Amino acid sequence: MTNTTVYIVNNSGHDFSSAEPFGKLVFLTEGLVDRFNVTGMYRKFQCKIDESTPEDFILHSGPGIMSAVACSMFSAKHGRLNLLLWRGEENGKQRYVQRRLSFKKD
């Protein structure tokens, strides 16, 4: 395993163990979250995103608005966004793919 962290937006009961090769799994929230309380999401995410590094990943799970908030916070902090996206199964194995976006202006 690498020294990176995979920030999973919501622990909704899925098996995320296939993401472990990309880093330590850290859940930003668990269970049901009020999707209209965007400020509350921001506050919950803040302490964990503050610990993130530019090499870490965001893994979308749960309501889209939660991922929007988490991705915005990560990109505002690092000027980039590293996503770990579910790709499905291949040869009976679950797999994720990495996608990286840079927002820095050169």
pLDDT tens digits for 58-85?
999 988 999 999 999 999 999 999 999 9
pLDDT at 12 over 60: yes
The tally of domains found in the chain comes to 1
Token representation of residue 102:
């840079």
For 41, other C-beta atoms within 10 Å of its C-beta total 25
pLDDT at 106 over 70: no
Query: Computed over its alpha carbons, how large is the radius of gyration of the chain?
Result: 14
- Domain assignment of residue 78, given as a range: 5-102
Tens-place pLDDT, residues 28-51? 999 888 899 999 999 999 999 999
Q: Is 47 exposed, middle or buried (0-12, 13-18, 19+ CB in 10 A)?
A: exposed
pLDDT at 90 over 80: no
Give the span between the Cα atoms of 2 and 41, in whole angstroms. 28
The pLDDT score that the predictor gives to residue 36 is 94
